[in-house]
Structures are given as structure tokens and as C-alpha cells.
A and B are shown apart, each in its own frame.
Chain A
Amino acid sequence: MKLSEIIDKLGLNKIVDFNGDIEITDAYASDLLSDVMGNAKSGQIWITMQTHKNVAAIASLKDMPAILIIGNGNPDKEMIEHARNEEICVLVSPEPSFHVCGKLYHLITGEN
């Protein structure tokens, strides 16, 4: 499913808008950046509540097209700036992680 379609269906707030046409087949949820550095894969959406600038740097390093911040988190302005420079999409959901992950899982896999 295209990222833009996921954004619509989950009602996500776009903070930095890139990569809408990219096909998304997987996501990775973690708040430990060391874990993401080790285990996330290229092309995944990253779901997290961390809002530090390093999130954008690691997303760029791991070639992840979008960062999805849960729980109405407020991304730091340095993070937004970095994401803009690196052309990474930054999204915010008001819902907690479990709900965001559950809904996204159904959307991506088509399973109910």
C-alpha cells in the first residue's frame, strides 16, 4: 500500500511530507534507537514515541521513508529540520502505539 493511502486511512497528521508514492510493506516499532540501528530494515515505517533529532538521522541511515510518532508526540524542531533535509516523511498519530501498530498491520497485510 502506498504511504499516502496509509496516511489517509489512519488519519495521520503530516509534519514533513515526503515519499507519498512509496509502496510500504512493513514497519518497525521501537523506542530504543540502538535497537532500530541494529534491527530495522530499509523501506519500513518507523513507529516510535522518541522525538529527538537522532531519530531522523537513524531513519536516514537505515533508509526508512517515514517516521510515525505516536501519542500526539511533539517532534523537536531539529528533528523536523533534519527530516526535511533528508526527505523523510514525519507523521503524528494521537493514538497509542498498540492501536497504531494494530491498524497499520491490518492495512499492510490485508489480514483481519
Chain B
Amino acid sequence: MFVENYIILLPVKIKADLHIHTVLSPCGNLAMGPLAIVERAKELGLDIIAITDHNSTLNVEVVSKIAEKEGIFVLKGAEVTTKEEVHCLCYMPDSKKLKEFQEFLESKVIFFPNSVDKFGYQLVVDEEENILDEVPYLLINALDLSINELQKKVDDMGGIFVPAHVDRKDTSLSSQLGFVPEDLKFDALELSPYAFRNNFFERFPWFKGYNYITDSDAHFIEDIGKVHNNFEIDQIDFINIKKAIQQAPKY
């Protein structure tokens, strides 16, 4: 007896890189324009990308518009630097909330002028990559905002909160605060592409047992999609992405 025909049902895997910078981040390469980012994401077959510049959301919508035409979903956010100098990914449910979040971030800025020579350009661009504006204050500086205050704000706005690259030796939850504060809520934690190579969980075993997404943190075109998350999502929207992040693999 043999089976002539059979079907293997595979769940649909959605590829998501949820930490990408643009020309707005001073450390972001000048090639990181919206057209180039979307083109690369398309080449790699990414279904979802998140635009997360330092302390600003001003290039999110332009990437979103271009990506939409290519069938790529843009999760709208920012990588916020708290006063403890912990980098945190914050994603907003829609354009209205994103705009409100931008105003909130601007209200917490400790003004320090950007020096293009030392830190790099901070450019706001349009769909043709024309320069619309240049942010005058340094975006990588800490905001006047604690990590717990930031988490609460993001939660109140219905967003997603993910402390970034927790394995990094600087600007991370592990470097700045040593361990995960017991009263801090989050949807998941994020690992950099280098976490396992650098034996993070051997060095910080108390970071085991949480849900982790893994992203590229791309500042250069060639780094986009260097690592990505595989989500099982039927329909790509904010709510389903939030659920998928909350159910990210446990390490």
C-alpha cells in the first residue's frame, strides 16, 4: 500500500526585519534612502520592515508609501534613547499615533546641536529622495525620559515596546541596567545579529527565559535583512505583528 498523492501543509512564514535606520540617523549611511531600502527589502523577499531611526519618526511615512506599492508592510516606529542610555524600539499602531509620538519625543529632547562632520547628516527626505529638512539637534542623545516612563507612554498609546539589542556592550538593557528590571513591561526583547557569536546567554544567563526577536539594526544597505524573524501571520497588520512579537521564540 502506498499513498499516491499527499499534501504537506506548511504554515505561511512571514519574513520581518524590525530594526532599520535611514539617512535621518546620523550614523545611518547616506545610501539609506527610502527607495534603496525598499528595493533591497524587495530583493530579499522581506514582507515586513520596521523603520526605526534614533529618537525620530520623520522618515517613516515616506518609506511606508514607497513600500506599500511593492507590497511590503512598514511597521512604524523609532529607536528611542532613554536617560539610562538604553535603546528601545517603539512601534506605533497608525499614522495618527506616530505623529503624536513624534511630538512626545520632541518634548523630551535635551538640545545639543548636531555636528555633521563628527556625527553625520540627519536628513528628512521625500519619495524622490529630495532633502526636505535637516534635524538640527543630535538625535542619538538621551532623552529626558526614563525607560519605565517610555514603556508606559508606548503602552498607553497602544504601541509595541521592545528594548533593543539587549546583548550589546553599550546602550543596551544589559550594559546600562545589568538585568531586566522586575517592574518593566515589554512585548519582547531584541537580540543583535551577534548575540550567539558573543555568547551573550553564557555571560548573562539571567537574560534567559524571555521572548526574543532578532533584527539587523541596519545602518547600511548591505546589512538589511542580515537576520530576520519568521512570523506565522495570516494577515499582515499591526495587531497580528504585535501578537507575533509577543510570541517570538523564547531563549
Contact = CB atoms under 8 A, between A and B. Distances in A.
Interface stretch (B95-103, B116-124, B176-184, B219-227): B176-184
Interface of A: 31-37, 50, 52-54, 57-58, 76, 78
Contact of B178 (A34, A76, A78): A34
Interface residues of B, number: 15
B146 interface: yes
Given A33-B175, A52-B146, 11 more contacts: A32-B175, A34-B169, A35-B175, A36-B178, A50-B84, A52-B84, A54-B177, A54-B181, A58-B178, A76-B148, A78-B148
Given A52-B84, A78-B183, A33 B177 contact: yes
14 contacts: A32-B170, A33-B178, A34-B169, A34-B178, A34-B204, A35-B175, A50-B84, A50-B176, A50-B177, A52-B146, A52-B177, A53-B183, A54-B178, A76-B148
Interface string B150-179: 000000000000000000011000111111
Nearest to A33: B178
A94 to B, nearest CB: 18
B235 to A, nearest CB: 39
Interface in B176-204: 176-179, 181, 183, 204
Nearest to B206: A37
A37 B207 CA distance: 14
Contact of B175 (A34, A53, A78): A34
B178 A37 contact: yes
Nearest to B84: A52
Contacts of A57: 179
A31 B178 CA distance: 11
B147 interface: yes
A33 B166 CA distance: 13
A80 B120 CA distance: 40
Nearest to B82: A52
A78 B170 CA distance: 24
Nearest to B177: A54
A100 B178 CA distance: 24
Contacts of A36: 178
A78 B84 CA distance: 15
Interface string B79-116: 00000100000000000000000000000000000000
A50 B85 CA distance: 10
Nearest to A54: B177
Contacts of A54: 177-179, 181
Nearest 7 CB-CB pairings of A with B: A33-B178, A54-B177, A34-B175, A37-B178, A34-B178, A33-B177, A32-B175
Contacts of B170: 32
Contacts of B204: 34
Contacts of B174: 34
Please indicate which of the listed interface residues B148, B178, B179 has the most CB atoms of chain A within 10 Å of its own CB: B178
A34 B167 CA distance: 11
Contacts of B179: 33, 37, 54, 57
Please indicate which of the listed interface residues A31, A32, A58, A76 has the most CB atoms of chain B within 10 Å of its own CB: A32
Contacts of A31: 176
